[in-house]
Amino acid sequence: MTLPVPDWLKQLVRVNKEALRSSQALKAEASISAHALHTVCHAAKCPNRGECFNCGDATFMVLGNICTRGCRFCAVDKKRPLPPDPQEPQRVAEAIKAWQIRYAVLTMPTRDDLPDGGAEHFARVLHAIHTTTPEVFTEPLISDLHGDTDALQTILDAKPTVLAHNVETVCDLYNQVRIGADYTRTLTLLENVKKLSPGMLTKSGFMVGLGETPAQITRLLKDLRSAGVDLLTIGQYLAPSAKHYPVKRYPEPAEYQAWKDEALSLGFKAVASGPLVRSSYRAGTLYRQALLAQKKEVEIPDSDTRG
């Protein structure tokens, strides 16, 4: 039996859909089509698409819109992917320049068919952006690259602003929800970012409503902090179709604030937590919050914080 969506959440989604009809959102849709680009906003059926397009935000999806894994929560197509498009890096860079984007989020499907998971192509996209618009901040949201540290280094060498990789759900649900993924591999990748590039801010995100318990969420938060993650997003899982993993619960808005408070108490520098929050939601704002928190940490000696 399908769990009914609460009225308050339906209203939030409805407002976002209405925003897709605004002139700014229509302009964004036209630009995406004109540059022959993919966005995770479309591929993952993001409920925030209207709000973000209306604000001039979008998350570009490089390396195509087909994934080689079978996660049960995800709407991205699972077919045989096409080879990387050599013209894509410049098209993405030109679109970012045309949109006058200042903080660009770029994601990728998992590409287990490529020897390096697509890292070299992704790095070319970042280099093209930095060459075309040097003032733009970049946040790649990458796959686990199958645990390949050399592939991770390739992306880090392209000098992103923030490196993001989502844990998606609690450890105990990985076998049910994240087919082909591995909880330990995800945490190791995030730890390796700090080892390879100590000054790099890292980011992760997870969904709620999949059947996780409060204790499992607390363990997840602690594991992410132990891996050195700085920025965090928490949002409601919404099943893309009846064939996907079913929603088990719709937490109330107050619970998201409680999770945010818990995460901040553990040392995360910035947290976005809410029913429609997704990993790229207001990414530039979250980055600025993390910088502010980092600045305070540097300026206030430990001896002054003990009270």
Give the pLDDT of residue 120. Answer: 98
H or E stretch at 82: none
By percentage, how much of the chain surpasses pLDDT 70? Answer: 80
Taking residues 212-220, report their average pLDDT.
98
Please, are residues 266 and 222 in contact by the beta-carbon 8 Å criterion? yes
Taking residues 49-69, report their average pLDDT.
68
Please, are residues 218 and 256 in contact by the beta-carbon 8 Å criterion? no
Taking residues 9-27, report their average pLDDT.
64
CA distances for 79 relative to 65, 70, 279, angstroms: 10, 10, 24
H or E stretch at 239: none
Residue extents of the structural domains in the chain: 7-297
Has residue 209 got a pLDDT over 90?
A: yes
Q: What is the value of pTM for the model shown?
A: 0.84
H or E stretch at 30: helix 23-34
Taking residues 147-173, report their average pLDDT.
97
Give the pLDDT of residue 287. Answer: 94
Has residue 300 got a pLDDT over 50?
A: no
Higher pLDDT: 13 or 206? It is 206
Which residues on adjacent β-strands are paired with residue 273?
234
> 7-297 maps to which CATH number?
3.20.20.70
Residue type at 307 in one-letter notation: G
Give the pLDDT of residue 76. Answer: 67
